Amino acid sequence: MKTMVIVAHPNLKDSRANQALADALQGHADVDVRDLYLEYPDWRIDVEKEQRQLLQYDRIVFQFPFYWYSCPPLLKKWMDDVFTYGWAFGPGGEHLKGKEFVMATTTGGPENGYQPGGYNAFTVGELLRSIQNTIMRCHGTYLPIFVSYGAAHLSDGELAQEALRYAAYVRTPVLATAH
């Protein structure tokens, strides 16, 4: 299974958690990691290039810090630009059919803050429903979310464990991830 990980962090070099997660994927022949903000600093997305790339992979992972209950703005723009009518959805828009999609995110807050009754009132999965619906509308298979809670507060050892857990999750076949 070929996997493309699109990391969408506005300053990945300064991100302890997202950098550790991305680094854990290096060296796996079946996983390609891309830094969206590094590739498109001017926000001018090469739609045809991105669509060609998507066709080469079985699984697409969007890795990002959780920003105001969603993804960072360049990733949202990427989806808006790349998932076009007639290509990703609508008549003739079945190029993503059967592709697996994973949202992988880091939060600043603890897990108990992302539940009914918690200070964010909803789970991360509930808050990302609009992205889930987009993937489903584009005929993709939406896999369970990977979340690293309280990432900024993890010790070096805990972060190393999270990175290993993430690398294993990204590379796990669909039947094992769908619990």
179 lies in a domain?
no
pLDDT band at 159 (very low <50, low <70, confident <90, very high): very high
Q: Give the pLDDT score at 179.
A: 47
pLDDT score of 175 more than 80: no
20 vs 53: CA distance, rounded Å: 24
Is residue 154 included in any domain, yes or no?
A: yes
Tokens representing 106 are 């880091």
168 close to 127: Cβ distance less than 8 angstroms: no
What is the residue range of 18's domain?
3-174
Is residue 73 in a domain?
yes
How far is it, in rounded angstroms, from Cα 97 to Cα 90? 12
Question: CA 152, CA 95: separation in Å to the nearest integer?
Answer: 37
Residue 32 lies in a domain: yes
Q: How many residues does the chain have?
A: 179
- pLDDT for res 174: 74
Q: What digits encode the pLDDT tens for the residues 9-22?
A: 999 999 999 999 99
Greatest distance between any 2 Cα atoms in the chain: 50
HSE-CB at 118 with a 13 A cutoff on CA atoms is 12
Q: pLDDT tens-digit profile of 50-80?
A: 999 999 999 999 999 998 999 999 999 999 9
Average pLDDT over residues 106-119: 94
User: Which domain CATH number covers 164?
Assistant: 3.40.50.360
Residue 125 domain-assigned (yes or no): yes
pLDDT of residue 178: 54
Number of structural domains in the chain? 1
Please report the DSSP string for 99-150 in residue order.
Answer: -EEEEEEE-SS-GGGSSTTSTT-S-HHHHTHHHHHHHHHTT-EEPPPEEETT
Is the pLDDT reported for residue 81 higher than 90?
Answer: yes
Q: What is the mean pLDDT of residues 143-147?
A: 97
Over residues 118-142, the mean pLDDT reads 96
